[in-house]
Amino acid sequence: MVNEQAYALGTKRSCIRELFEYGRMRAAIVGADKVYDYSLGNPSIPAPKEVNETIAALLQDTDSLALHGYTSAVGDLATRQAIADDLNARYDAGVNAADLFITCGAAPGLCAVFGALAVPGGEILAIAPYFPEYRPFVESAGLTFKAVTPDVPDFQIRLDALAEAITENTQAIIVNSPNNPAGTVYSRQTLTALGALLTEKSKEFGHPIYIISDEPYRELAYDGTEVPFIPTIYKNTIVCYSYSKSLSLPGERIGYVYVPQQADDAKALLPAVAGAARSMGHVCAPSMWQKLIARCTHLRPDLESYDINRRTLYEGLVKAGYRVAKPDGAFYLFVEAPGGDAKAFSEKAKEKDLLIVPGDDFGCPGYFRLCYCVSLRQITESLPLFAELI
């Protein structure tokens, strides 16, 4: 006998993975350059050159046993100190090394935080459109997942809808800015209003309602758009960060959870995060990558090629008549599906080997997502196909 929930998760591929696999199959038939795959958010800019140089230096200057051995479960102190120093230099945020737990990326960080907040009857809210994996992560922790109605067409946060969705069982709201899939960045004004609402609701229900800030795209913002560091706006914020996108290291699995000391229950929260991670088999994040982050956490991505892609695709689609949310960050565009049925539109696009993800799994039917971490050639060659489809 096997666990039914696990079986269902393991056998039913996500719509994104389904499209990606379909693209590979089509590439083998018609050639990779004839498949316009916008399905997967795999970075298309290489890691900064300092990353490879640091790997080489670590192999030279670090004792092999120390380099490849277990670290403490929370992570190397030097790594946590470097991250705290970098965050403090940027946001004056009062981060301590002791407030950080190094993880194998944002996904396991989120799962550990959900595990830490899993109380009987507990609910986690996500603002649509949201990263589809939140639902299985939340439900596997034994919590209830609830989506909050999207704020169309700007995709900020509908505070009235959120206020209605919060109940005495609400443990946390997931905030993902810059956003996957909409590319929007929540403004300081929006986040300040959100913090005020949560302060009020926490008081009403007699327990803290946390923000879980899932921020793998923190450094991916364009035109000087500010990405506020949410713990400096609302103290009950738990940050889940990842280097997957900022340093183009998604396959290496490295990130962290930050629980501010000033958060209510901080003394219990971080050990609970560590305990939940332990229960999922976390031993430590990869040792060599921790040591690399200790030397590289200050590096920032060179966004030029993403920015060119963003402008080219956004302007091309708008010119063709599409309605698109203004993308200030990440590497996604969220587009209104002509005719209103995104699944049908995605199927129609597939006939032209144009692979686009319908918004249904993001809690936002009627839209489709495009990942523009692709070649500029793909964008310029596929824009005429988008024009034909509309």
Please state the closest distance from residue 103 (CB atom) to ligand PLP, in A.
8
Beta pairing class for 255-258 and 332-336: unpaired
Question: CA–CA separation, 115 vs 282, rounded Å?
Answer: 13
Map the footprint of ligand PLP across residues 13-72, applying CB under 6 A: 41
Identity of the residue, 180 or 236, whose beta carbon is nearer to ligand PLP in the bound complex: 180
**315-341 exposure pattern, b = at least 16 Cβ within 10 A, e = fewer:** ebbeebebebbebbbbbbbbbbbbeee
Question: CA–CA separation, 39 vs 20, rounded Å?
Answer: 6
Task: Please give the C-alpha separations between residue 339 and each of 212, 275, 323, in angstroms, as whole numbers.
Answer: 35, 48, 12
Question: CA–CA separation, 129 vs 219, rounded Å?
Answer: 20
Please pick, from the candidates 170, 190, 237, 242, the single residue that binds ligand PLP as defined by CB under 6 A. 242
User: Does 213 sit near ligand PLP (CB under 6 A)?
Assistant: no
Name the segment binding ligand PLP (CB under 6 A); options: 101-109, 139-147, 270-278, 282-290: 101-109
Identity of the residue, 170 or 177, whose beta carbon is nearer to ligand PLP in the bound complex: 177
**Tokens describing residue 277:** 């991670």
User: Does 255 sit near ligand PLP (CB under 6 A)?
Assistant: yes
User: Does 105 sit near ligand PLP (CB under 6 A)?
Assistant: yes
User: Does 176 sit near ligand PLP (CB under 6 A)?
Assistant: yes
Please pick, from the candidates 74, 82, 100, 107, the single residue that binds ligand PLP as defined by CB under 6 A. 107
Name the segment binding ligand PLP (CB under 6 A); options: 90-98, 103-111, 219-227, 277-285: 103-111
Map the footprint of ligand PLP across residues 124-153, applying CB under 6 A: 131
Cβ contact 95:87 at 8 Å = yes
Please state the closest distance from residue 110 (CB atom) to ligand PLP, in A.
7
Question: CA–CA separation, 230 vs 212, rounded Å?
Answer: 10
Q: Is the peptide bond before 129 cis (omega within 30 degrees of 0)?
A: yes
Please state the closest distance from residue 265 (CB atom) to ligand PLP, in A.
24
Name the segment binding ligand PLP (CB under 6 A); options: 6-14, 102-110, 342-350, 369-377: 102-110
Question: CA–CA separation, 99 vs 130, rounded Å?
Answer: 27
Question: CA–CA separation, 131 vs 240, rounded Å?
Answer: 14
Please pick, from the candidates 35, 87, 106, 296, the single residue that binds ligand PLP as defined by CB under 6 A. 106
Identity of the residue, 9 or 266, whose beta carbon is nearer to ligand PLP in the bound complex: 9
Identity of the residue, 171 or 242, whose beta carbon is nearer to ligand PLP in the bound complex: 242
Question: CA–CA separation, 73 vs 313, rounded Å?
Answer: 43
Identity of the residue, 242 or 248, whose beta carbon is nearer to ligand PLP in the bound complex: 242
Cβ contact 148:126 at 8 Å = yes
User: Does 102 sit near ligand PLP (CB under 6 A)?
Assistant: no
Site of interaction with ligand PLP (CB under 6 A): 41, 105-107, 131, 176, 180, 214, 216, 242, 244, 250, 255
